[in-house]
Amino acid sequence: MNKIERVQATLAGKPADRPPFTVWYHFGTQHAPPEQTAEVHLGFFEAYDFDYLKVMNDYDYPMPEGMEVMATAADLKRLSPFDVTKTPMGNQLKALEIIAKKLKGKALFVDTLFDAWNTIRRNLVKEALPKLMADHPQELLQALKIVNQNLIQYALASLERGSAGIFFSVPASAEFITPEQYEKFMRPFDLEFLNAIKGRGEMHILHAHGEKLYFDRMLDYPVHAISWADLNGGPTIPEARKKTPLTLMAGIDHVKFSNVSAGIIRNQIKSAMAQAGNTKFILAPGCSLPTFSYPPLIKAARNAAWGK
């Protein structure tokens, strides 16, 4: 099987010669032009001969013009729809165009996006989010609606440029948000986003981020696969298999990866493959690896996935 055939068979629930394999980490190119970002990703992909490429997306969702702090209900009202191509996110789209040309006919790639709640938390209001959820829920809901529409616009543009799908990061976990807050401020916007891109990609992946996941509440998300840290909070691969028919994407401990031996990594991969079986499983870390993960460890993981 070639790379594309292997991934497509896995997502379709057909037997593959082996599970598709990839890893990822943050390259720190958010300051760089799109050509450099594309070059770094393609070099990473070629160096380790992955089955598909997860493109990192670290260009920023922009603050409203003239602002560097957003912390109040009045600040939230400054948010508005925008043309994503005219923001830093446009650099990502240009990088995707380059990647798409290089990988056409050779391998699939997915683009990364954080959901609306996490975009607001990471890029805009930061530490003010708990207070905004408690004291200004209506203003926050309106802000989430605007951000979500901009993210939908971006995702459609990404798919038009050749992305096979969106790797959609959702921190629906108790260390970030309560169940009640999740139901109000996160889940409705996640579903709106995913339904807007449904049918426009072949590899949409829900990345359930966190160690105290509301796992069962995300199993109706319209995606092709679910990524999570089975070795850091769970559920285990067999437990997840009982819960959902989605393709599972897990198996490697991203937290300890850079600080353990190749032998331990190989054993993790052997165990994951034994648990998952030969269908609907992608071998991957539970989240981003540390950027300083050494090449011999990544190559050992790849070789173990290949059965070497």
| Residues 228-263 pLDDT 10s | 999 999 999 999 999 999 999 999 999 999 999 999
In angstroms, the CA 117 to CA 210 distance is 14
| Residues 140-164 pLDDT 10s | 999 999 999 999 999 999 999 999 9
Distance of CA 56 to the CA centre of its chain: 8
78 pLDDT more than 90: yes
- Our CA angle for 197, 99, 26, nearest 5°, is 85
Are the beta carbons of 139 and 131 closer than 8 angstroms? no
Q: Residue 217: what pLDDT?
A: 98
- Reduced 3-state DSSP string for 89-101: HHHHHHHHHHHHH
Q: Residue 33: what pLDDT?
A: 98
247-252: strand order across its sheet: 52-55, 108-114, 165-170, 205-208, 225-227, 247-252, 281-285
Enter the tokens of residue 223.
């995606």
Q: Residue 34: what pLDDT?
A: 98
In angstroms, the CA 73 to CA 52 distance is 42
Are the beta carbons of 20 and 6 closer than 8 angstroms? yes
Q: What average pLDDT score do residues 32-41 get?
A: 98
Computed over every residue of the chain, the mean pLDDT equals 98
Are the beta carbons of 152 and 207 closer than 8 angstroms? no
User: Rounded to two decimals, what is the model's pTM?
Assistant: 0.98
Buried b (16+ CB within 10 A) or exposed e, 199-213: eebbbbbbbbbbeeb
72 pLDDT more than 90: yes
1 pLDDT more than 90: yes
278 pLDDT more than 90: no
